[in-house]
Structures are given as C-alpha cells and as structure tokens.
Amino acid sequence: DAGVIQSPRHEVTEMGQEVTLRCKPISGHNSLFWYRQTMMRGLELLIYFNNNVPIDDSGMPEDRFSAKMPNASFSTLKIQPSEPRDSAVYFCASSATGGTGELFFGEGSRLTVL
Amino acid sequence: AQSVTQPDIHITVSEGASLELRCNYSYGATPYLFWYVQSPGQGLQLLLKYFSGDTLVQGIKGFEAEFKRSQSSFNLRKPSVHWSDAAEYFCAVGGGGDYKLSFGAGTTVTVRA
C-alpha cells in the first residue's frame, strides 16, 4: 500500500510568493494532520481534519496560512504571502479513526523562503 | 493537558552498546504512547506503540519500550545499537476521541564506531 504522499519534496521561493503544499493520505484514513518542524520549535500541529472537516486549526500561525481538504484523498496547505520565517519542513500525516491514534507520516516538504 | 518530556536532547553511544531513551508523559486518562524515529531528510516512522495489555512492547528494528504508569514513563531501549540507529527519536502521547498526539522535543542519537 502506498503511504502518505506529499509534494513537492523541496520548494524554494522568494518572500511574498504563494506556496502550496499537497498531501494524499493513505486510502481509508479519515483523519489528516499538517505538522511543521523547525529546529527551534520542534514538531507543531498546524491543523487537524476529520472526515474532510477542519476540527482544530488553533495551530495555524496566522491568516497567511490556510488549509483545505476538498475530498478524502487530497489536502493542501497554502501560505500567502510567504515569509522567511515560514522556512521549515511541513509534514502531512494521516490516521484511521477508530484505531489507536497511530499517525502515518509523509516524507515532508522542505520549504525555504528567501 | 497532555504533554511529553524527553529529558535528553542528545545521546552518543558506541556501536554494540545498549541504548535507553527516556520519555515522561502527562495525560489525564489512559494514554496511548508511541515512539517514532526520524532519519535525516525523512518523515517519522513508527517504532512501537502501547495502548493496553502487556506493559513491555516490542517494536521494529529490535527496539522495545516499557510503560510504567506509576512513573508516567515510557522509556525506549535497544540492547545493541547499530550505526543505522543514528537518528532522532520522538516520544508521543495521545488517546481519546480526537487522536491528536503530543510529541516530545526529540532525542538525537549519535552512534560512534
């Protein structure tokens, strides 16, 4: 079975540009999470979807960040406009509701904002 | 509120030696506990998990962990480390209906020859 698929793996952009990160969760999983990882702050939960509905977006840093999950097999995390402090690795993870809460992570999208 | 503390930021161990990584958690109910490993440039991979039953759980790559409720701990161990075990290790706690995990800050393991 395919795991969580994220794209792009690497993104380099200039400040002010729009960035869109994409995620395909594992088929059958109905919980999806976006995390951000930095040296300073470690792993931070940005947003959590259940059955395609955003349940908790309290971790989204500010209005420049938005996330959508139009269907069970696709989610996006958008940053507009991007800033250098957004540079980080962004992970998508999915899990099966009714399971033990184990998260399956993608390989991450490394974002560099110049 | 749930939280995880990993007291050791960095551990260096010789190849073939034993390894123990500490994890203390705070959780208001019966916790689900996890250890994840992250190799450089990779995502997090689950090593093992505990949610009920035997308090000593076995995982992949020869790792095991012991749940001690009285100490609120879930320490990870490996009897003999290999150079490929050099990575960052994260302990996480969760449970209940929302399945949100709280991660520790991670412990970086360096393996010397």
pLDDT in tens, A35-94: 999 988 889 999 999 899 998 899 998 899 999 999 999 999 999 999 999 999 999 999
Interface check for B44 against chain A (CB to CB < 8 A): the answer is yes
Q: Say if the Cβ atoms of A101 and B32 lie within 8 Å.
A: yes
pLDDT in tens, B68-109: 999 999 999 999 999 999 999 999 998 755 567 889 999 999
* B68 phi and psi angles, rounded to 5 deg: -125, 100
- CA A89 to chain B, closest CA, distance in angstroms equals 9
Size of interface A-B (CB pairs under 8 A): 49
Interface check for B46 against chain A (CB to CB < 8 A): the answer is yes
Q: Residues A33, A22: contact at Cβ < 8 Å? A: no
What would the 3-class secondary structure string for chain A be? CCCCEEECCEEEECCCCCEEEEEECCCCCCEEEEEEEECCCEEEEEEEEECCEEEECCCCCCCCEEEEEEECCEEEEEECCCCHHHCEEEEEEEECCCCCCCCEECCCEEEEEC
Q: Considering CB atoms only, which of A91, A97, A103 is closest to B101?
A: A103
Q: Quick count: other Cβ atoms within 10 Å of Cβ A94?
A: 24
